[in-house]
Structure 1
């Protein structure tokens, strides 16, 4: 794993040390730094034996500019060295990033200006914010908010965003003044402090596809592109590891791996015990069919609760998806033998996952009397998180600080009103890629694997596949309620029919049951009426009602909401009250 940090402004060795100390757990290697009269840039990374990991990392000074990068680059434009990458910038300017593929972040200081870059899909993250006269940046929020002098203030709208999405979408974060660089974007910070954000990876801008292309042509193109994405990340000299849920996406990655390498492929699946729903039979079927060495890992509260706070600290964000804990625990298991692991993330956002269906039905058959922002409201409801719960869950005093239209609905409005992409399904996919993919899916996996020194490899989120997804005809993504048609057709002969034909079910973490049993006491202690009242954010009566499962509205996803409340409150106390891990 690797770290990039620094700031634009006069040198301050104590400040640089604070930032580095906050991120030391991510990488144990020696710190490299270049300190100039108006900037300080530093990187730190630990060596990896995996061929595709950390090919280019470090910081260097060439002529009058300083160049720093961490991560991995692959594909035909992959640089052979950090210096080669820096020379490209010297020759082409900021446009040198066009065509780069990988999981990376970069920082350049040139003629007193700072330029920050994040890879196209958002596999790596980069945050920035001001501390006094300096503009700070780091790969995790704690590299900024833990510095002396940074004003830690909660952004009220972020709480509503979190409860609605289970993550905070877009550039703004939980803290006022702390921002996340969007995927595929460049931030320019001038010496005077003026900033300019530019999106360089515009996947919706593409040459019109060949009108004569057949379904077979598209399927073949998808297969070839996915094959190359896997090959670019694969180390043929070492055994490979893959998270295998038994779903379609992780199964096609597994199938591609075993076809490309002669080394053993180890697959890892999770379950929650015999009394809870799981997908082990499907994962076993794929493992047996593909010939992997298969491992099954039990996830249960008595094992993970002692290190839940550590997991939230490593996540360093309010991400309320319960799958974060299985990701964390499984990564601990994988890290015993592997420094990188493949996954199937990307299939749903890019190729017409089933969660698009309710929105499409409303789009096609919705009632004529449509209110303002009806699409935005329907989208928020379709997440099935806490959007419908806001009026009950937030305290009246806190709720008055939020403008629900401006703070929630207007996040989505630009996606529905833009000219490109034009198809409604593609508009939904753009939201899923730029918001959910770049601010939930990829950061969640990167932090949870990175906590154990493991690099995640997500070939289905390759930039080439992102572009292809928006060129594909809609009927090859979603048709008659069947999702991801192109993936199923491409791998129909490589996987069991039961895997190809089964509907999407998702990983169901049994938090609904855990909060009534193994996690009940723990949750009641963290979310006690006194603690909730002192924080002033949530309504104590409603929180108690959820904890008691005394719900008047009938069946609902109350376990998920409790998980969101629990993890939020633990993180809030760490950031704003200084509680230790």
Structure 2
């Protein structure tokens, strides 16, 4: 993968090459192998390259054969060879970038519908002066922009926009409620005022006079009619779809490895990758935390031995969190949303020593209903029909009485108490409920940005909503940033859009079947993996924060969230914050998720805006080379 950036001015003034160069420097970690800039009049593009395909060629920004189109491209087009074979075009390279130029030259911007892969690119039409910004269907790769009356600036990361903006960004207070509800801000918003992210599956058209039109070009297909699928036919189709997706994701001119947690998704991908490359031992990588209660090393080792991989393990400790938190917040451009983000970075560092590309298991839960909430969805929806005051009263009485071991019941109780179906869906992953956000913010939560739930049964609704928000705004953003911070390309084969479309054609009854979540994918995995791997209880990437916030990270927690220079303490209700910390310290309750949410916000503010003891945005600007 790579880094892209650019400027389109609307006032006729030329683009300053020094600003383009500064934007590119912010993205050097995304593309350490090469860099380039292109400008003509009021438009300029920048590019940094991590060479994966056509290593000796395909320099960017790249112009089409006639010179009409110029592209700065981040990503990989897995079907580029097949597309190239059908295009009559004077090719000069052996890479996928020129295939996009050739296709657009022949078929227009609608050619993006033919692309299979992960991508974010800027394509400038020199004839019309229009610039197209395009983001892949699932949002595997990011693209941000800031639009003012004088210009539009864009880039793979938010910090790449700073050199061209001319003003210091500010916190967007309207996004704080969204952050507290999901540990990330849904597209098109960010925590930076005036900076947007292009939503997944969307493209933007920017005219020379400053008009910006954003349109969705992809969304999963509707569910097939009842009776079309049997359990056997669904398992066979998903098996074939996963094989096709993994085969596509292996396209590269450099070594490809894989993350291996020992869970169903990553284990199935590794098994498929090994099957598709007979005689080649896949390199696999796993992370753990030195805690036998949460580590999954033994499961990953079992899969590695079963498949026959060259396996490497990485140990992550509490000290890594303190030492890396600010650095990775800088790379994330946002609060580090999940504790596992830091472990993913350490994993990427280790993998980068031997490979340039890794496959990962993101998407399996959001396609095939793998989270516990999907199994509980119908029951909670039924309870949701009771009068709201009754639900709220019961939840309020029990919430602070349920012990740590009943955390899942507590989450389900909170979801059942939510006032609306949309708020109920948000509550499943929400660190703070609507009433808690109101207490922290000192006013009613911002409901203007709450998305309506899509059509379908309650499980399909949840899956589509997660595909539209939780996946691109949280998990995929994490995957991109943490891997790119180590100059490593991440590919999630399960998010091949052809497999995604198949998954959403299947009825929910084949995803949650007889109370078993992710049933159809587990039945596929059963063909390739030991039964104990497929049937073991879902664990996730667990980090022992509960104990760390009572020991190694305790002092940092209190200083950052209650100190005189604390953004959290100044912005939110101090009594509510202190009560939260005291509840956790009591040992009777586990508030790690909420504390992590506030801590990450504080570290983000320190990193980009500073406090009395941290350098803040001025240091970030110097680091990225703002002129």
Q: Do these two structures clear the TM 0.5 threshold for a shared fold by scoring above it?
A: yes
Q: Per-residue deviation at 1:550?
A: 5.6
8 Å CA contact 2:122–2:132 kept in 1: the answer is: yes
2:36 and 2:421 map into 1 onto residues whose CA distance is 48
- Selected match of 1:202 from 219, 222, 226: 219
Q: Match for residue 259 of structure 1?
A: 275
| 1:345-372 alpha-carbon deviations (Å, 9 max, x no partner) | 1110000122323333223453343699
8 Å CA contact 1:327–1:449 kept in 2: the answer is: yes
Answer with 510-519 or 292-301: which moved more.
292-301
2:364 and 2:57 map into 1 onto residues whose CA distance is 25
Q: Match for residue 494 of structure 1?
A: 528
Q: Verify: 1:246 aligned to 2:249, yes or no.
A: no
* Pairing 1:179-258 to 2, within 5 Å after superposition: 179-205=196-222, 208=224, 211-234=227-250, 240-258=256-274
| 1:509-557 alpha-carbon deviations (Å, 9 max, x no partner) | 11111111111123333334312268621223333333444679x9554
Q: Per-residue deviation at 1:329?
A: 1.1
Q: Verify: 1:59 aligned to 2:105, yes or no.
A: no
2:32 and 2:357 map into 1 onto residues whose CA distance is 17
8 Å CA contact 2:568–2:601 kept in 1: the answer is: no
| 1:376-396 alpha-carbon deviations (Å, 9 max, x no partner) | 221122114123573476253
8 Å CA contact 2:7–2:152 kept in 1: the answer is: yes
Answer with 525-534 or 473-482: which moved more.
525-534
Q: Verify: 1:366 aligned to 2:384, yes or no.
A: yes
Q: Per-residue deviation at 1:32?
A: 2.3
- Measured at CA, do residues 159 and 370 of structure 1 come closer, stay the same or move farther in structure 2, by a change above 3 Å? same
Q: Match for residue 423 of structure 2?
A: 377
- Selected match of 1:25 from 11, 23, 29: 29
| Structure 2: gaps of 5 or more residues | 85-94, 390-417, 621-627
| 1:454-474 alpha-carbon deviations (Å, 9 max, x no partner) | 111110111111101111122
- Measured at CA, do residues 153 and 425 of structure 1 come closer, stay the same or move farther in structure 2, by a change above 3 Å? same
| Structure 1: gaps of 5 or more residues | none
Answer with 528-537 or 271-280: which moved more.
528-537
2:537 and 2:57 map into 1 onto residues whose CA distance is 37
Q: Per-residue deviation at 1:146?
A: 4.7
Q: Match for residue 125 of structure 1?
A: 142
Q: Per-residue deviation at 1:34?
A: 2.1
Q: Per-residue deviation at 1:313?
A: 0.9
Q: Per-residue deviation at 1:37?
A: 1.9
8 Å CA contact 1:73–1:104 kept in 2: the answer is: yes
1:98 partner SS: helix
Q: Match for residue 569 of structure 1?
A: 602
8 Å CA contact 2:377–2:458 kept in 1: the answer is: no
1:247 and 1:332 map into 2 onto residues whose CA distance is 21
Q: Per-residue deviation at 1:491?
A: 2.3
Q: Per-residue deviation at 1:256?
A: 0.8
| 1:330-355 alpha-carbon deviations (Å, 9 max, x no partner) | 11111111111111111100001223
* Pairing 1:105-504 to 2, within 5 Å after superposition: 105-110=120-125, 111-130=128-147, 133-205=150-222, 208=224, 211-234=227-250, 240-261=256-277, 262-274=279-291, 276-354=293-371, 355-369=373-387, 374-387=420-433, 390-391=436-437, 394-396=440-442, 400=443, 403-407=445-449, 411-413=450-452, 415-416=453-454, 418=455, 422-504=456-538
Structure 2 length normalisation: TM-score? 0.84
Q: Match for residue 393 of structure 2?
A: none
Q: Per-residue deviation at 1:203?
A: 1.3
1:377 and 1:248 map into 2 onto residues whose CA distance is 30
| 1:447-494 alpha-carbon deviations (Å, 9 max, x no partner) | 101111111111011111110111112222112321111111112121
RMSD: 2.8
- Measured at CA, do residues 54 and 315 of structure 1 come closer, stay the same or move farther in structure 2, by a change above 3 Å? farther
| 1:274-302 alpha-carbon deviations (Å, 9 max, x no partner) | 45422222222212211222222211012
| 1:127-146 alpha-carbon deviations (Å, 9 max, x no partner) | 00035611001000111135
8 Å CA contact 1:267–1:292 kept in 2: the answer is: yes
8 Å CA contact 1:41–1:59 kept in 2: the answer is: no
2:448 partner SS: helix
8 Å CA contact 1:165–1:380 kept in 2: the answer is: yes
2:540 partner SS: coil
8 Å CA contact 1:356–1:425 kept in 2: the answer is: yes
1:301 and 1:169 map into 2 onto residues whose CA distance is 29
| 1:391-430 alpha-carbon deviations (Å, 9 max, x no partner) | 476253xxx4x643324xxx231x34x4xxx333222111
* Pairing 1:32-47 to 2, within 5 Å after superposition: 32-47=36-51
1:448 and 1:425 map into 2 onto residues whose CA distance is 30
1:35 partner SS: strand
| 1:424-443 alpha-carbon deviations (Å, 9 max, x no partner) | 32221111111111111111
| 1:218-237 alpha-carbon deviations (Å, 9 max, x no partner) | 21111111111111122598
Structure 1 length normalisation: TM-score? 0.90
